[in-house]
Amino acid sequence: MAFAPSPIPSRTQYVLEAIKHDILTGGLSPGQPLVETELAARFGVSKTPVREALKTLAGSGLVVMSQYKGATVRMVDADMARAVYDVRLLLEPEAVRRTVAAGAALDEARDALNRAATAEDPAERSLANRDFHRALYLPCGNPLLGRMLDEVRDQAALVSTVAWATTPSWEREAAEHEEILRLAAAGDSAGAGLAVHDHIASFVERAFPEDGE
């Protein structure tokens, strides 16, 4: 008999989501220590849910656990960025192509795009952009493919947060998102997949150029 995994306790989930939000919106910087006692005091909980939340975040690639330094926000460098975006380049265009080919509803993607356009701060815009991409790849018809992209989603967002802090490119990316959605709405699965590929590739090339470029 198979057993479902135990759900994360509510306090741990609350702490996890709060820390993740701070990391993905720049409230906590790469390399910044995550001290259990300080976080426990901030959230009004014991150290146990903080410790469990940090372990989960380490599993998703946002936090690094060290025997000597404790927990820190993961650093972002060119190698890490290219590795994460390489996975996206291999999987996301095909997932979007399948979503469009299946005629999946695009309401959530359109809503996310509208939220990004009217966002009042970079954090809100970043979260809306993440929702836009997920709304396009998740209905691809292959749950495993969707989960694989979900696994790198947070790391990709961390890369974006770091890149945007030094090289803001919101307007260009917003225009690219509009074009992706236009192609998807037109039922052009090949065109939408290619546009997603070019969108992902151009971002990492601008933010983390190869030496000599």
| pLDDT tens sequence across 148-176 | 999 898 899 888 888 877 776 778 889 99
Average pLDDT of the residues in 92-121: 94
The alpha carbons of the chain give a radius of gyration, in whole angstroms, of 18
For position 9, what pLDDT does the model report?
63
Mean pLDDT of 58-80: 90
Fold of 78-207: Four Helix Bundle (Hemerythrin (Met), subunit A) (1.20.120)
Percent of residues, the chain, with pLDDT higher than 90: 61
Please list, in sequence order, all residues whose beta carbon lies within 8 angstroms of the beta carbon of residue 109, skipping any fewer than 6 positions away: 132, 135, 136, 181, 184
Average confidence score pLDDT of the chain: 89
67 or 139, which is more confident?
Answer: 139
In this predicted structure, the answer to whether residue 200 has a pLDDT above a threshold of 50 is: yes
C-alpha–C-alpha distance, residues 145 and 94, integer Å: 9
Six token digits for residue 75: 């650093």
- Domain spans, the chain: 10-73, 78-207
DSSP class of residue 139 equals G
pLDDT digits (tens, 9 = 90+) for 27-54: 898 999 999 999 999 999 999 999 999 9
Q: Taking residues 9-13, report their average pLDDT.
A: 84
Q: What is the pLDDT of residue 210?
A: 76
CA distance 152 to 40: 27
CA distance 18 to 13: 9
Beta bridge partners of 71: 34, 65
Where does 10-73 sit in CATH, by number? 1.10.10.10
